[in-house]
Amino acid sequence: MNIFLQSSEAGGGRIPARNEVPLEDTWDLTVLYPNDEAWQADFAELQARWPAVSGFKGRVGESAQTLRELLEFDKVLNQKIEHLGHYAMLRCAEDASDFANLEREGVLQNLLTLIGEGTAFVLPEIQALDDATFERYVADPLLAEWQIPLRKLRRLKPHTLSSAEERLLALGSSALHGHRDTFDQLTNVDMKFGSLVDDQGEERELSQSSFSSFLVQRDPEVRKAAFHRFYEEFGDHQYTLASTYSNSVKADVFSARARNFSSAREAALFYDDVPVSVYDNLISTVRANFEPLFRYYELRRKVLGLNEIHHYDTYVPMVGDIATHIPYDEAIDKVIAGLAPLGGDYCKVLEEGLRHGRWSDRYENKGKRSGAFSSSSYGNPPFIMMNYKADVFSDVYTLAHEGGHSMHTWYSQQNQPFQTYDYPIFLAEVASTFNEDLLTHHFLNTTDDPKMRAYIINRQIDDIRGTVYRQTMFAEFEKIVHEMEERGEALTLDSIKAVYHGLLMDYFGPGFTLDPQLDLECLRIPHFYGAFYVYKYATGLSAAVSLAENVLTTGETGPYLGFLKSGGSKFPLPTLAAAGVDMSSPKPVQKTLDLFARRVAELEELLGA
C-alpha cells in the first residue's frame, strides 16, 4: 500500500522530490504564466507601471472623475499584483525548498512594500473628503461600479491614519509579518521527523502531511509512537516557536493599537463587520454543550478497547473493518455524486476542473506545504493543493471541502467585477463545509450496511468535533493570549503552554488522558500565526448545516447559488441572512451541536455501546 506517491501506485513509503511527480498529478500553472520568464517580465512591467500612481497625490478628492481614474488605475495594478502573487505563492507551496520559488516570493514582497509606501496617500485622501462631498461623488454615475468598495472604505475612516503614518505602517508591513515566513520555513523545510514502521510492517517517512495517516492506524502503539516522535521534534524547537508565536501576537496588538482599535480581536472582526458578540456566542454555546462531547470520548475509549484515551486515539475510525482505500479518481467520483443536489452545471464545472483541467496538485512531495487549500486570481482557475492519501478517508472530504472553495470562487468570478468578487474567509468556510455536509448525506443515503453507516456517522461526529469544538477551543486560546499581551503580561513558552493546557482540560474533560507533549500543539497550528481566523471554521460549518438542510429538504438551490454568486458584494452577516441563516444569533451553532448529540446517540445504538 502506498499513500504518498502518484496514481500509478508505485514506490513504497518514500516521499518523492518535486521533479519526480508525474505532470498529470500536478496543477497546470501555465495558464497563469507559461514559464518563470513570463512571470519575471510581468513583474518588470509592474515595477515600471506602479510609480505613475504618484500623479494622483494631492488630487484624489478634486472630482468624481479623478477619483474614478485613480480607482481604475488601482484596479489594474491590483489585478497584476494578484496574478503575480498567486503564481509565486503556488510555486512556493509546491516546493518551499526550491530557492528560486523563495526568491520569487521575496522580491515580490519587497516590491509590494514599496508600492504600499507609494500608495499610502490614497486612503487618507479619500477619507479626508467631507461627508457631503463623499456622498455626491458616490452618487455620480461615473462611480456606479465603485459604490460598494467606496462605502466599505468609508467604514475605515476612524482607523485610517495620516499619509505619513500610513507610509510608515506600509514600510513595516514585511517586518511585522516576518514571523509567518519563519514558522513556514522551520516547520515545512527544516524540521525532520524520521521514519516509522506502520501497522503493515512498512517503514514510512513521518512528516507534517503523513502524521494524519499514522493517527488513523489501527495499532495503538503505532499511533502513540507517531505522536511522540512528531512532538519530540517540536519539543526540540519549542523556544524558537514560542518566540515566533509571541512576536506574531505582538504584531497583531501593535497593528490594532496603531489603527485605534480597542483590541486585536475587534480589529480582526471589524473588516468583516462581524460584532465580537458572534465570537463570544460561539464560545459560550460550545462550552454549554460539552456533555455530548465527553460522552463521545468515553464511547470511543470503550469501542477501541482502551484503558485510557489519548489525543492520538481520537482520529482512528471506530469501525475498523471498513475498507477505505480510495484512489484519487474514485474520490472525484464520490465528491461529484455527493454534490448532485446542486445541479448539473455546478457538478460539470467542478468535475472537469478536477479530472481534466488540472486544477489540483494531488500528492505530497518533498518541500511541499502541508495540508490543503484552494486559491485563485481573477480570470484564472481556482487551484487546489492537496496532499491526498488513499488510506485517509477524510481526504475525500478535504477534496469536497476545497472544491467548495473553488466553486465559490468560480461563481463569484462569473458574476462579480474584480472589485467585488473577493469574498471574505467568513463566507468561504460556509461553501467548503456545505460540500462536506452534502457528501455525508450522500454516503448515508447510499448504504444500508450498519457498519458503513456507523463509519460515516463517526466521520460526521469527528468533523463537527474537529470543526466546531476544536476550532472554538483554538479561538478561545487566541482570545486569551491576545488579551494577555494587551494587559502587558509576558508571553513566554511557559505562560503560552499554561493557557493551552487549561483549555485542553476544559475541552477534553475529566475522563481524558492528556499527554504533556500536547501542550506544544498551540505552537504548531499554522492559523495561529494569522490570528482570529479559526473561529470562522466553526461559524462556517454551523451556517453550512442550516443551508444544506434547506437545499436537501426543499430542493431549492437558488438561495445557495445566489450566495456563491454574491462574492464580496455584501458583508458576511447580511449575505448569509439573504440565503436564510442568521449568524448574529447562537441558534445555528446550537443546531449543529444538537446534530452532534443526535449522531452520538445514533452511534451508541449502532455500536451497541
Orientation angle between helical segments 344-355 and 394-415, nearest 10 degrees: 110
Report DSSP state, residue 159: G
Torsion (CA) 421, 427, 428, 430 in degrees, nearest 10: -140
**CA nearest neighbour of 143 among 230, 64, 47, 233:** 64
- Calpha distance 256→264 (Å, rounded): 5
DSSP run (H or E) holding 384? strand 383-385
Helices assigned H by DSSP within 50-197: 64-94, 99-118, 122-127, 131-139, 147-154, 163-176, 178-185
Q: What are phi and psi of 203, to 5 degrees?
A: -85, 125
- Calpha distance 554→578 (Å, rounded): 16
Ramachandran area for residue 540 (φ above 0: left; ψ -120 to 50: alpha; else beta)? alpha
C-alpha separations of 170 from 77, 93, 113, 164 in Å: 17, 25, 6, 10
Torsion (CA) 114, 117, 123, 127 in degrees, nearest 10: -170
Q: Give the residue numbers annotated as catalytic, written as ranges.
A: 402
Q: Residue 113 is placed in which grid cell?
A: 512594500
Q: Residue 214 is placed in which grid cell?
A: 499514522
- Calpha distance 369→358 (Å, rounded): 18
Residues recorded for the chain: 609
- Calpha distance 502→497 (Å, rounded): 9
Q: How many other C-beta atoms lie within 10 A of the C-beta of residue 383?
A: 29
Q: Outline where DSSP puts E strands in 258-372.
A: 360-361
Report DSSP state, residue 365: -
